[in-house]
Structure 1
Amino acid sequence: MNTPKNEIEQFIYTVCYQSIWEAVYRHIYQHPYTLDLSHSRIKYPDSAVLEDMIVEFTRNINIDEDTLNFDVIVSCTIDLTADGTFGVANHDISQWFILSCSATITNKLESLIVLSIAPFKFLKHLATNGIAVEKNIIPILYKKDLDNEASSFLKKYYPEALEQPLPVPIKKIAENLGLEIIQGHCITDNFSIFGQICFSEGTINVYDLFKCTNYDIPVKRGSIIIDASTFYERNLGCVNNTIAHEIYHWYRHRIYVSIKQIIHKKKVIACRCPTDTAYPQKFETWSDEQQMEWQANKLAPRILMPLKTFCIKVNELYKLNGYSSLTITAEELIILATELSTFYSVSRQSVLIRMLETGFKEAALALQPIDTRTTHSLVDLHGAFSEYRNNSELKELVNNNLFKYVAGYFVINDSRYIEISPSGKPSLTDYALSNMQECTLQFSWQLSEQQRFHEQHSTDILYRAKEIPQESKFTSKNNVAVINLSEKLQQKRIEFERQNAEYKLSATNKSCWQLIYEIIQARGLSKSHFCTLTDLDDINYRRAEKNERTKPAFRTIVTIACGLNLGINTTETLLMLAGHAFDESDEHQALKFCVTSLMGSSIEEKNAFLASYGYEPLGSKQRK
């Protein structure tokens, strides 16, 4: 015998060799004239007997649940005999054969069928049923194969989900597979494991959270243990994803474990699903466990949200809500993802990742890092204004045009990251969406006064308290790299903003109205268009046109700046020419935020923001 080179060969030598030997022995004995005798001294043997057999290699290995299909190529030493004139002649020859085999394996070899035997020729590999596996019995799956693999699973167990958008009844599928779901136990004391699948009958060790001790529970082959914290600390979506993850382990990896147990004579009870799996770097070797975890991690959401019908459902909700992939905001994406997560019974994070995978690149706007307990970059409008108003560091960065508030993020003010639509609406570029960490400011969570009071006085130990929103807190020390990059880009470029032409207009020896009219002319705006954009009376257009000596009021200038989406530099120049300036009052800070951070928004949208804080709207046909 050769020394086995891999798991499949070791399995063949350990439990299949005798059956294969017997099949080859019978074939040779019964069909001696089918042998290749071109190099033999005996051309017409009376008998042929197998003397030795070596497994050379295997190929066309695939699995289908408990069935392992493979071709094994063996080299045989065969003793030929023939009666001749001078007595019995003997001669040994070497012959290679290919055997197509099918083995049924649970926690032992249930059966082995040799489907065919033929002389071996180096032919092209044949297509086979099931999924191809490596010689360590791990499925061969590339990223491009994942959706097809998920469809293959659903075609067997819930084909309806491939025809129309439907929530996949993952618990029912587990039941149909004969799997038992066990909940209510903590697998570890630190919530490092979501769940585990049991490949053998036995006992597993779990943790008592209240007694702070470990204890054993009996399990059957095919038991799925869901950590109690998976539901209480996460959500139902995480539970369903964990069940799908463990089902895939059972579907594709149980035969790997069974063969390991057989060849190593060591019982494997369970395979655990960690909350955080580290994968090798580009040129590092993957372990068997890492490959299987990657496959289960990638397949679970694809089973719960199959490609074709998931896209149908997303497009249906886009149409129903009047969303466009070009203009949808982070807040709208969160609403959409929440609706999808409810429909599919998965987490919102999982929905957003699935949207990205299926071509909805705008989902990156709302996709936070998986662990947002430390830092985050998505900040809603009121949180953004609150921090802008109260944080001098953030205010300085925004006022100095280093960052713009776009789609829920404070983004580096550069054309690499921000693009302006023909209608003047800013959005994130494809590059920005793919490199959010590079171009957005990071915020930490800070407990609000209400939350701090709640935590100091709460006596609730056993039950989860109602969630109270936390506040986003900015510190420059956590954003050194992105601030340095923004400053570097600003130094390299001529200041880039939509109203670039206005910056070229000199304010020297001009009145405020005169400069306003030059901006109107540079934009090519008619009187009616100007009035529509600013919600001002046409008298303001005529004053600019005639360059009246009167100076426009503070709010009139801010209204024009907001309506025409002028930058902060141009706005402050106009205010200076009229003898005005922003002060530190709350209202002025809100108005300044409209100029610096709501660029591209209409006057109506900016007025809605001001109204939410109780401030008077801009425009409204004012004449001052």
Structure 2
Amino acid sequence: MAAQRSFTEYVKKRFDNNFWAAAESYLDANLDSLGIELKRIHRAGEMEISDVKVEHVWVEDKPGMEIHFDVAVSIWFETHEGDYHYDDYDENIVWMMAHCRGDLDKNLDDFEILNVSKYNGKSRVKAPMDDALVPVINKNQLDDAAEQFLREHYKKALLEPMWVDPKELAEGMGLTIRYENITKDGSIFGRSFFYDCETELYDEDADAMYKVTIPAKTILVDKKTAFLMVLGATNNTIVHECVHWDKHKKAFALARLYDNELSNIGCRVVGGIAGNKRDAIEWMEWQANALAPRIQMPITMFKKKVNQLISKYRKETHAYDMIDIIEPIIDELVLTFGVSRLAAKIRMMDAGYEEAAGAFIFVDGKYVKPHKVLKGFLAPNQTFSISARDAIVESKFNTALATVIADNEYIFVDSHFVLNTPLYVEKDLFGNTSLTHYARNHMDECCLVFNLTMKTSVSENYHTECFLNRDKSSEITFEAHYSAKSKNAVNQVQMIKDYNADLLAIARKLPMNFSGTLDALIGWSEMTEEELAEAADMSEKTIQRLRNSEPDNVSIETVVQLCIGMKLPPVLSGCLIRASGKNFMMTEQHIMYQFLLNSCYHLSINECNDMLLAQNLKPLGKLNRVS
């Protein structure tokens, strides 16, 4: 329990007699100057302390294993009547501040009260620690704390941008790195041993755990996990464990005062600490996670390198916009600092380079081009980029999104719902639809926002990093849900209204029967029957038959193919569907058809089939007959 690791509680129990003695001396020496009011007695007589309570403890970190701490003590005492004619007493409380010290390497056996003073409600410790003896480091102090760490253990990293060699760092701190199979399943990546300890490791050949003695000041790194993970992640783990040794050995010493069997901290691959979850332990892990990349990439040297690379790539590529050079910059930072791509990406965002958030994103296993957004527009768990499956489900079952798509002209392009206007959408030489360069620079202006939730179980402390970790190798899975957050300029809204009005005017002129509607829409598309046959992946004869005579029974697949072939906007494809007398059923196949017609009508029949196959659904056209 948390109380078992409380320094305040430990001080109360162990040094109670010391504080009683200090309280007695303090009252004897200062009673006349404390301004005690006597209300119930006529003359002060004998004074007797009834209780001494430790009210609060402020701890200050000191070099080595020494700590100083100020203890606020309340003294409860009774002053008895000095006139023997009366039998009464007054109760009073005064507070004092005891300034103390002790060495945790000596189990505080050398504890002493340095001096005692009147309590004034304030303690001015310079390097505060919390009640579990974890250093107090606020988020805005992390960079300073990282640079202080480097000044003590790896000064040269503050002179020029460089790779902080974790082996050299650990050895400089007097630590030894060993690669072992810590567990069978590889769930624990690193373990720091503060004291000599007999522990169990996994023998891969025997498929069994065996006992081994690990000396103090040893960092174990899991051999198998280190092999499977990228070098940057292994480097980060070793630096992470060095942070535990530097910042948390006093917290561990306090824990050992309660339980001398404790010997090590084990850090799990997913980012937590092995063992019972406690607030102090989670806080230590947060600090190690936050400080490790800042130690590997100290802010001043990191910014220096980033600015050098911006100049370099702008000259080499003749591209000025950050979205055009952000990815090679990140990859070169990976090489310079020996970190993972994700770590470099997050560090760029920490340093104020917001464009990094839109770099190296993969959705449905496909690369999404870099893009950027106004600073602060998206929350950490929000995105513009979603999977096709999430787009299908949300557009069908999220009424708010369905309304937006119906009322406006959004299409699904490059994993984004984007306004279908030439300012934001273009076609390349091969006829493929993509976001324009302007759109990728102004995503907040033209794309819909989605809230991400993680399906993979990950501690809340690591959500921000996980939401950014959407690269090709990520094992974290997400679900996206539409957010009502959007920002469309007035002229865009008017443009959409005008476009929709034109489509409605065309729809009102369409005949009621299928062949007549098809004939009119082919005319609107300005396609020849031969062109439509190729675009819809059906025979020219079939199109002629459907166009010239009313069919008895046309399949829903044929109608969908015709709509996709002519790239009919939803208003017009809806007219052709109704004229066919067909209705969509509540099946995955038909839900997908609706998604293609509503949000992907700009795609070719082949691209639509790729999306169908990706969802394990039957393709359209000739490919369906082959399958």
TM-score by length of 2: 0.57
Query: Within 5 Å, which residues of 2 pair with 1:557-596?
Result: 576=527, 583=534
Partner of 2:343: 350
Using the aligned pairs only, state the percent identity. Answer: 22
Partner of 1:161: 157
Whether 2:163 is the aligned partner of 1:150: answer no
Partner of 2:579: none
Q: RMSD of the TM alignment (CA)?
A: 5.6
Partner of 1:181: 177
Preserved contact between residue 200 and residue 267 of structure 1 (Cα < 8 Å): no
Whether 2:372 is the aligned partner of 1:359: answer no
Q: CA deviation at 1:80?
A: 9.4
Query: Within 5 Å, which residues of 2 pair with 1:323-338?
Result: 326-329=321-324, 332-338=325-331
Shift in alpha-carbon separation, 1:480–1:129, aligned structure 2, 3 A: closer
Query: Within 5 Å, which residues of 2 pair with 1:200-219?
Result: 200-219=195-214
Q: CA deviation at 1:166?
A: 2.7
Whether 2:263 is the aligned partner of 1:269: answer yes
Shift in alpha-carbon separation, 1:305–1:95, aligned structure 2, 3 A: same
Preserved contact between residue 203 and residue 216 of structure 1 (Cα < 8 Å): yes
Which of 113, 129, 138 lines up with 1:133 in the alignment? 129
Q: CA deviation at 1:39?
A: 3.7
Whether 2:318 is the aligned partner of 1:319: answer no
Preserved contact between residue 181 and residue 225 of structure 1 (Cα < 8 Å): yes
Q: CA deviation at 1:100?
A: 1.8
Whether 2:411 is the aligned partner of 1:412: answer no
Whether 2:7 is the aligned partner of 1:11: answer no
Q: In 1, distance between residues paired with 2:27 and 2:165?
A: 52
Q: CA deviation at 1:325?
A: 7.2
Q: In 1, distance between residues paired with 2:446 and 2:160?
A: 30
Q: In 1, distance between residues paired with 2:492 and 2:90?
A: 91
Q: CA deviation at 1:504?
A: 9.6
- SS of 2:174's partner is coil
- SS of 1:288's partner is helix
Q: CA deviation at 1:344?
A: 0.6
Shift in alpha-carbon separation, 1:502–1:249, aligned structure 2, 3 A: same
Partner of 2:233: 238
Q: In 2, distance between residues paired with 1:479 and 1:294?
A: 23
Q: CA deviation at 1:50?
A: 8.9
Shift in alpha-carbon separation, 1:5–1:42, aligned structure 2, 3 A: farther
Preserved contact between residue 70 and residue 123 of structure 2 (Cα < 8 Å): no
Preserved contact between residue 416 and residue 447 of structure 2 (Cα < 8 Å): no
Partner of 1:73: 72
Shift in alpha-carbon separation, 1:298–1:430, aligned structure 2, 3 A: farther
Amino acid at match of 2:312: L
Partner of 2:168: 172
Q: In 1, distance between residues paired with 2:500 and 2:301?
A: 50
Preserved contact between residue 53 and residue 74 of structure 1 (Cα < 8 Å): no
Shift in alpha-carbon separation, 1:340–1:91, aligned structure 2, 3 A: same
Preserved contact between residue 414 and residue 496 of structure 1 (Cα < 8 Å): no
Amino acid at match of 1:378: Y
Q: CA deviation at 1:98?
A: 0.2
Shift in alpha-carbon separation, 1:26–1:340, aligned structure 2, 3 A: same
Q: In 1, distance between residues paired with 2:16 and 2:447?
A: 53
Give the gaps of 5 or more residues in structure 1: 85-89, 280-284, 382-392, 394-399, 443-468, 473-477, 509-571, 598-624
Q: CA deviation at 1:361?
A: 1.7
Q: CA deviation at 1:273?
A: 1.0
Shift in alpha-carbon separation, 1:503–1:24, aligned structure 2, 3 A: closer
Preserved contact between residue 58 and residue 70 of structure 1 (Cα < 8 Å): no
Which deviations, in whole Å up to 9, do the C-alpha atoms of 1:228-273 show, x marking residues without a partner? 12321112211111112112222222212211221x2342121111
Partner of 1:115: 114
Partner of 2:100: 101
Partner of 1:426: 439
Preserved contact between residue 50 and residue 76 of structure 1 (Cα < 8 Å): no
- SS of 1:205's partner is strand
Query: How many residues are treated as equivalent by the alignment?
Result: 449
Partner of 2:53: 55
Q: CA deviation at 1:351?
A: 0.7
Shift in alpha-carbon separation, 1:157–1:428, aligned structure 2, 3 A: same
Shift in alpha-carbon separation, 1:244–1:117, aligned structure 2, 3 A: same
Preserved contact between residue 107 and residue 200 of structure 1 (Cα < 8 Å): no
Q: CA deviation at 1:15?
A: 3.9
- SS of 2:266's partner is strand
Q: CA deviation at 1:379?
A: 4.9
Preserved contact between residue 424 and residue 446 of structure 2 (Cα < 8 Å): no
Q: In 2, distance between residues paired with 1:435 and 1:275?
A: 34
Whether 2:285 is the aligned partner of 1:293: answer yes
Which of 363, 373, 378 lines up with 2:367 in the alignment? 378
Preserved contact between residue 55 and residue 74 of structure 2 (Cα < 8 Å): no
- SS of 2:265's partner is strand
Amino acid at match of 1:54: V
Preserved contact between residue 201 and residue 209 of structure 2 (Cα < 8 Å): yes
Shift in alpha-carbon separation, 1:17–1:188, aligned structure 2, 3 A: same
Give the gaps of 5 or more residues in structure 2: 84-88, 371-391, 393-407, 427-435, 456-470, 506-522, 538-563, 568-600, 604-627
Q: CA deviation at 1:321?
A: 1.0
Partner of 1:450: none
Q: In 2, distance between residues paired with 1:435 and 1:286?
A: 40
Shift in alpha-carbon separation, 1:44–1:380, aligned structure 2, 3 A: closer
Q: In 1, distance between residues paired with 2:171 and 2:473?
A: 44
Q: In 1, distance between residues paired with 2:47 and 2:164?
A: 57
Which deviations, in whole Å up to 9, do the C-alpha atoms of 1:111-144 show, x marking residues without a partner? 334333102223x442x232x2332333334433
Q: In 2, distance between residues paired with 1:471 and 1:79?
A: 71
Which of 333, 339, 344 lines up with 1:340 in the alignment? 333
Shift in alpha-carbon separation, 1:216–1:310, aligned structure 2, 3 A: same
Amino acid at match of 1:63: D
Amino acid at match of 1:216: K
Q: CA deviation at 1:470?
A: 9.5
- SS of 1:425's partner is helix
Q: In 2, distance between residues paired with 1:112 and 1:210?
A: 50
Preserved contact between residue 51 and residue 77 of structure 1 (Cα < 8 Å): yes
Which deviations, in whole Å up to 9, do the C-alpha atoms of 1:507-540 show, x marking residues without a partner? x9xxxxxxxxxxxxxxxxxxxxxxxxxxxxxxxx
Shift in alpha-carbon separation, 1:153–1:430, aligned structure 2, 3 A: farther
Q: CA deviation at 1:8?
A: 1.8
Shift in alpha-carbon separation, 1:480–1:328, aligned structure 2, 3 A: closer
- SS of 2:95's partner is strand
- SS of 1:252's partner is helix
Amino acid at match of 1:364: A
- SS of 1:413's partner is strand
Amino acid at match of 1:267: E
